Structure 1
Amino acid sequence: MTRRTQTHPDVADPRTGAPFFSTWRVGTPERQARAVEAVTHVWERRSWPSAGLLGYHLYTGHDGSTLLHHSQWGTEQAYEAFVRTHRQERNDEIDTAVPGIERLWLGRYRRHRSRERATGDVRVPGLIVTVRIDFEPSATEHRADWADLVLDAVADDPVGHRGLISAHFHLSTDGSHVLNYAEWESVQAYDEAVAAPEKEPWERVRTYPGVRGFTGSRFTHAAGLVPD
């Protein structure tokens, strides 16, 4: 069966060979809440669809309009089997409950490296920040090096990032970008880190050759769905 949970996912779970992220635009905070309830209702009424799916999590965007979806698949083949047999009927029921959903994009990834939660750290993330970093086609092979540079900069500045619980860098399978999924203690902790004076390692991150641009979004974890 399927169970709803408020527990955040273990993004670094080594069983996740194919993490997926996608975004829906629903329009208003009220419709965000309705969409979360529609998704969880549809899933809870059905059996867990695949042993290859570890968990599926929903997040409400602080823009009041979007939903982030994060699903943890063991393999892409398991996801493709789900698409063939289960996805459409679920989406149809969700669209009946909340008409007019815009499905903006679906990204397939491989997790590269993480700054994992420290041993004994039991903080519950108050803010999820995703940052998409787009690269020029000629710089695709340097995406992992860029992510490593960021993680080194974070490690060199523990005081400035004390509100950071974890950060997980994913490489898109189409070669176009990096997605960082970061757990922060609170909105205030994140804002303080962003407002701090820029140190030399961050200048190198920001001006790294081949980086086309950064797109950041803020979310709150709304619900998780896991096998019972």
Structure 2
Amino acid sequence: MPTISKNNDVVTVIIIFAVEPKRQQELINTIIEFLETTVKYQPGFISSSIHKSIDEVRVMNYAQWQTIEDYKAFINNSEVQAKAAKLGNFSKPESHVYEVVVSKPDNANLKISKGGLIHLAEFRVKPENQMRLVELEREYVGVGLQNSGLLSANFHRSLDGVHNVNYGQWRSFADFEELLKDPKYKPLNEYWQGLAENEFHLYEVVYTEPAE
């Protein structure tokens, strides 16, 4: 079962596809086919977890590799990439390599499992602002964890300096909605102002390799 932790010695790749709602499941099926027939057999592959957004406009692949060299060999292998030709029928995804920089609570060891409810907040940031945003994420995550429905928060920074991601695991939709409505959580809606552009989506985990 895939896990997320600041102490994991893995390379994390997050790939996000924008998709038309009517084609979301088709895209999911296409990614899974590529994973099961090709990707999982590549040297250095550890895990892949496919998420579908509840609003049906995103599909996200949270992947882990042993080393950056393994991942680069995978994406630069023309024979392997040719087997992903069907993915070319969809919009080009946004893809970055990340490291996990904040994992809270301190004893968090998030296991990605099918059916899990995930809040993915994406922050587009200039490289000179990335680490300041990480500091603020670390500072404000305690406010979010006052909501008992937030089981864990894992902040990632892209190695190219232009993207931060918060992967939050939630117990229920109601708990997340409380975060949006309760005034005491208002600082969470503002801390990135002036540093980054933000958007978020709620996702359900629909597939993991290796399976549970």
TM-score for both structures, normalised by structure 1: 0.77
Question: How far apart, in 2, do the equivalents of 1:44 and 1:120 lie?
Answer: 26
Alpha-carbon displacement from aligned partner over 1:145-189 (angstroms, at most 9, x marks no partner): 11211223335x2xxx11112110001112223210011112121
The 1:188/1:117 distance shift into structure 2, 3 A limit, reads: farther
Shift of 1:203: 2.8
Question: How far apart, in 1, do the equivalents of 2:198 and 2:44 lie?
Answer: 32
Shift of 1:55: 0.2
Is residue 123 of structure 2 the alignment partner of residue 133 of structure 1?
yes
Q: SS of the counterpart of 1:103?
A: coil
Is residue 58 of structure 2 the alignment partner of residue 66 of structure 1?
yes
Question: How far apart, in 2, do the equivalents of 1:163 and 1:37 lie?
Answer: 30
Question: How far apart, in 2, do the equivalents of 1:149 and 1:57 lie?
Answer: 28
The answer for the alignment partner of 1:182 in structure 2 is: 168
Shift of 1:35: 2.2
Question: How far apart, in 1, do the equivalents of 2:211 and 2:74 lie?
Answer: 15
Is residue 103 of structure 2 the alignment partner of residue 114 of structure 1?
yes
User: Is the 1:53–1:74 contact (alpha carbons within 8 Å) kept by the matching residues of 2?
Assistant: yes
The answer for the alignment partner of 2:207 in structure 1 is: 223
Which of 16, 22, 32 is residue 23 of structure 1 equivalent to? Answer: 16
> Where does 1:133-212 land on structure 2 (aligned, <5 Å)?
133-155=123-145, 157=146, 161-198=147-184, 203=187, 206-207=190-191, 210-212=194-196
User: Is the 1:149–1:205 contact (alpha carbons within 8 Å) kept by the matching residues of 2?
Assistant: no
User: Is the 1:139–1:210 contact (alpha carbons within 8 Å) kept by the matching residues of 2?
Assistant: no
The 1:169/1:204 distance shift into structure 2, 3 A limit, reads: closer
Q: SS of the counterpart of 2:155?
A: strand
Backbone CA RMSD of aligned residues: 3.2
Structure 2: where are the runs of 5+ without partners? Answer: none
User: Is the 1:24–1:104 contact (alpha carbons within 8 Å) kept by the matching residues of 2?
Assistant: yes
User: Is the 1:54–1:227 contact (alpha carbons within 8 Å) kept by the matching residues of 2?
Assistant: no
Structure 1: where are the runs of 5+ without partners? Answer: 1-6
The 1:74/1:210 distance shift into structure 2, 3 A limit, reads: farther
